[in-house]
Amino acid sequence: MNTNSNGTGRRSFLRTAGVGAVGAAAVAVGASEATAKAPARCGAGGGCDYDVVVIGGGFAGVTAARDSRRNGYKTLILEARNRLGGRTFTSRFAGHRIDLGGTWIHWSQPYVWAEKERYGLEVTETPEGLDVSAETIVLAHGGQRKGLAAEEMVPLAEAFEMYFADARQLWARPFDARFTWNALLQHDGLSALDRLNQLPLAQPQRAALEGYIATMGHGSLRDISYNETLRYWALCGWNFQGTNEALGRYVFKQGTVSLIDAMVADGTPEVRLSTAVRKIEDQGRRAVITTQKGERTTARAVIVTVPMNVLPGIAFDPPLDPRVVEAGREKHAGTGAKVFMKTRGRFDGPGKVMGLGDAGNTFSIAFTYAKGADHAIYVGFVPDPGKVDLQDRQAMQQALRTYIPDAVVEECLAYEWTLDPFSQGTWASYKPHWYGKYLDHFGKDSGRIVFGQGDHGDGWRGAIDGAISSGARAAERVRKKLGSA
């Protein structure tokens, strides 16, 4: 968070930008050498190049590859971008380390927290040293802005209790949709907006819920499934405080890339960057992977970890389940953006400002992300990036002033995951009707092709934690399939 301690001045920054990518790529080269020395084990299996080829080098893929290496398999990651990390991307902005994609972790997220502990990685608060008791909440609705006193929080808390009232019934076990399957199916068609419309809410209550839930699902309230919002609430302990802290308080001190690096250094899989995949075939005795540039690689098993929205762009033989292709083309609800803004002037005090507001605002939520000597960094969540220019600091200043009236935005930055052909969206939130339509179809292995996508699976799917768990479970199924190496 601190800018000057590591000597990253403006001039050197021009030359060594993209710190996240540099770290990951450097490890990948070393890993590649380590793997080359390991014995090739798949000769007996029919002359394969690798035991396991992992498609996609985000948290799901890196976990699947790390675990496959630990299981003794010769393993390769094929990654389309010129960096590992997928929808996480540690970079720098205005002298601060930031994460442009997935960011926050918490001990209620069991897989990622276990990895943090395993590798001894540190976390810090957003902003660093945050005193939650000094947090100021600003609510914007109907063109008005209001800082909330403690007693004004009570009706808002009641509104959240109202919206999430059935969460215990629908998600008695948030890692096990089958346990309450019938109840979930009954509510499957309901969007977050439908649910809001059912409730007798006062305007401020409605505004607070709109802002919070549009951020949770990172998209339009119409597109976000009600069931999905209740899943998060249940995972976080069925209360506002828990949800707030699990979703937006703790970050890796050295960025998400520090965990990617640790996992790659531990597992030493071979890594090929800038290698998009065109086709994956299961030929019975082996799987064949063909890259966009036409190179072919053979493997005893393939673990597919690419985002669900990207999957239809890869040819499969035998073909993918048509429902999976249909869902990928329809795309999940996560279509928003996260904008970083540097504002002029020091943020005094131990707390932060958190603004939330109704669907009429550009930012559904915006809050203090970091504090500098003469500036502050704010992060704003934009559920509908189509209606505003995220790269225009004037537009972002105007949007931030909804919550911080005197803010002067000097710089702004958003990584537009929806424009990135290798993600085509942000974190996955299912849409209404998807449980009945698609849940049985997602993540179903077929022969030598195993699915470990972070968008799917139980628990924290869509989050870093869900990616790690999906990758780990896929690697475990491959171990059972291939037997001991």
Partner 1 sequence: MRRLSLMLAAAALSTGTAHAAPACDLALGQAVFVAKCATCHALDAHQVGPRLGGLLGRPAGKAKGFSFTDAMASAGFRWDVERLSAFLGDPQAYVPGTSMAFRGVSAPQEREALVCFFKHH
| Interacting residues toward partner 1 by CB under 8 A | 10, 13-18, 21-22, 80-83, 91-94, 100, 273-275, 292-293, 389-392, 394, 411-413, 415-417, 419-423
Closer residue to partner 1, CB minimum distance, 68 or 91:
91
From the CB of 450, what's the least distance to partner 1, in Å?
A: 26
Closer residue to partner 1, CB minimum distance, 17 or 165:
17
From the CB of 268, what's the least distance to partner 1, in Å?
A: 22
From the CB of 127, what's the least distance to partner 1, in Å?
A: 20
Closer residue to partner 1, CB minimum distance, 290 or 292:
292
Please report the sign of the dihedral spanned by the C-alpha atoms of residue 137, residue 224, residue 370, residue 132.
Answer: positive
Closer residue to partner 1, CB minimum distance, 394 or 446:
394
From the CB of 83, what's the least distance to partner 1, in Å?
A: 5
From the CB of 22, what's the least distance to partner 1, in Å?
A: 7
3-state SS record for the chain: CCCCCCCCCHHHHHHCCCHHHHHHHHHHHHHHHHHHHCCCCCHHHCCCCEEEEEECCCHHHHHHHHHHHHCCCCEEEECCCCCCCCCCCEEEECCEEEECCCCEECCCCHHHHHHHHHCCCCEEECCCCCCHHHCEEEEEECCEEEECCHHHHHHHHHHHHHHCCCHHHHCCCCCCHHHHHHHHHHCCCCEHHHHHHHCCCCHHHHHHHHHHHHHHHCCCCCCCEHHHHHHHHHHCCCCHHHHHHHHHCEEECCCCHHHHHHHHHHHCCEEECCCCEEEEEECCCCEEEEECCCCEEEEEEEEECCCCCCHHHCEEECCCCHHHHHHHHHCCCCCCEEEEEEEECCCCCCCCEEEEECCCCCCCEEEEEEECCCEEEEEEEECCHHHCCCCCHHHHHHHHCCCCCCCCEEEEEECCCCCCCCCCCCCCCCCCCHHHHHCCCCCCCECCEEECCCCCCCCCCCCHHHHHHHHHHHHHHHHHHHCCC
Residues in the chain: 485
Closer residue to partner 1, CB minimum distance, 213 or 273:
273
Quick check: 288 and 297 in contact, CB under 8 A? yes
Cα(311)–Cα(308) distance, rounded to whole angstroms? 5
Closer residue to partner 1, CB minimum distance, 178 or 296:
296
Closer residue to partner 1, CB minimum distance, 171 or 417:
417
Quick check: 182 and 245 in contact, CB under 8 A? no
From the CB of 46, what's the least distance to partner 1, in Å?
A: 30
Closer residue to partner 1, CB minimum distance, 293 or 480:
293
From the CB of 25, what's the least distance to partner 1, in Å?
A: 8
Closer residue to partner 1, CB minimum distance, 162 or 395:
395
From the CB of 67, what's the least distance to partner 1, in Å?
A: 26
Closer residue to partner 1, CB minimum distance, 384 or 476:
384
Cα(348)–Cα(340) distance, rounded to whole angstroms? 19
Cα(299)–Cα(74) distance, rounded to whole angstroms? 9
From the CB of 99, what's the least distance to partner 1, in Å?
A: 12
From the CB of 91, what's the least distance to partner 1, in Å?
A: 5
Name the residue among 299, 281, 323, 348 with its Cα closest to residue 131. Answer: 348
Closer residue to partner 1, CB minimum distance, 154 or 315:
315
From the CB of 377, what's the least distance to partner 1, in Å?
A: 12
Closer residue to partner 1, CB minimum distance, 287 or 414:
414
From the CB of 96, what's the least distance to partner 1, in Å?
A: 12
Q: Write out the two tokens for 382.
A: 């934009």
